[in-house]
Structure 1
Amino acid sequence: MIYSYIVKKEIRKTFDHVNNHRWDEAVKAVASNVYHRVSGVHTLGGKRHDKEALRRWFERLGRVLPTLHITVNNIWVTGWPWHTTVFAQWDGTATLLNGDASYVNRGLHVFTLRWGRVYALEEFYDSQAAARGLAAQAEAGLEEAVAEQIAS
């Protein structure tokens, strides 16, 4: 029970780091050979297999959706310190460069932890909503919003 409480607190803290563009803090507990997958055929989609690529992905997230705010609604923790699975259900909102404040996405992150380190992170959300938002950012002049995926 205490372990679950600590994990939930750390996961919420990580989302706070993302909301505030503190990328070094966001990847602090990530293993060097992390597996990161985001669904969708857009600039934020694809797979990464190392911490540095994940950090670059977070930096891009901050540039292409600079006002993104993620609200964590629920976190579920299962397992023991040597192999823990965490599910974090969230809502994301942003105001796009064209002034449209209606960007909303809802998703689920699945974390695999070992002894407090993130070894895998898979993100499930409305990839079509993300693609539409990124296309709007590109139409407003942000070319990186339609750049090639960061993969490793």
Structure 2
Amino acid sequence: MYHRIVASKVRATFDEISAGRWEAMVDGMAPRFTYRFYGEHALSGERHTTAALRLWWQRSLRLLPNTTFQVEDVVVSGWPWSTKVATRVRVSAPLPDGTRYENVFMQFIAMRWARITEVHTLEDTVVLQRALDALAAAGVAEAHAEPITDASAEHRAAVG
């Protein structure tokens, strides 16, 4: 029963994100967490603060507005004090040239007492890089920006 509840919550969270409401995901993070998106591009990097994670979500949805997430698989193991979740999710978003960004990513999520302590996202980075290159070619400079990190979020907060 517990595993079914967690899987349902994961699916509901992706539905919320698809509707542009990503804040619930950030609110679900534990006080100490790791959020890692693999690759070397504007969406990659590792974050440990909610400030950096919020900036990352804002950038993600600026680059790929109207993104939808279709959860294909959720696997849950463990108990409330040590829960592991694996997902396979199809992601889709319109691009400025009229084509669509279509990709699949896998996530490993660790939770402790209903709070997320780790998220590791593996996406086909070649497909993602092509989409970011198309955005940059369309004049979206942020598509080739440096990844958002805790340090860049702190710097941004200090500057105002």
TM-score by length of 2: 0.89
Please name the residue that 2:18 is paired with.
Answer: 19
Alpha-carbon distance in 1 for matches of 2:128, 2:35: 17
Please name the residue that 1:146 is paired with.
Answer: 144
Deviation at 1:67, TM superposition (A): 2.5
Q: Deviations 1:37-92 (Å, cap 9, x if unpaired)?
A: 11111100011112221121111111001122111001000001000000011111
2:83 maps to 1:84: yes
Deviation at 1:29, TM superposition (A): 1.0
How big is the alpha-carbon RMSD for the aligned residues of Structure 1 and Structure 2?
1.1
How many matched pairs? 150
Which amino acid in 2 is paired with 1:116? A
Asked if the contact 2:20/2:66 (under 8 Å) is kept, the reply is: no
SS in 1 for 2:27: coil
Deviation at 1:23, TM superposition (A): 2.5
SS in 2 for 1:31: strand
Alpha-carbon distance in 2 for matches of 1:5, 1:60: 32
Asked if the contact 1:40/1:128 (under 8 Å) is kept, the reply is: no
Alpha-carbon distance in 1 for matches of 2:51, 2:77: 27
- Range with greater deviation from structure 2 (112-121 or 55-64): 55-64
Q: Is there any run of 5+ residues in structure 1 with no aligned partner, and where?
A: none
For 1:17-56, what aligned pairs fall within 5 Å after superposition?
17-56=16-55
Alpha-carbon distance in 2 for matches of 1:128, 1:7: 31
Deviation at 1:33, TM superposition (A): 2.1
SS in 1 for 2:40: coil
For 1:96-135, what aligned pairs fall within 5 Å after superposition?
96-101=95-100, 103-135=101-133
Asked if the contact 1:90/1:107 (under 8 Å) is kept, the reply is: yes
TM-score by length of 1: 0.94
Asked if the contact 1:83/1:114 (under 8 Å) is kept, the reply is: yes
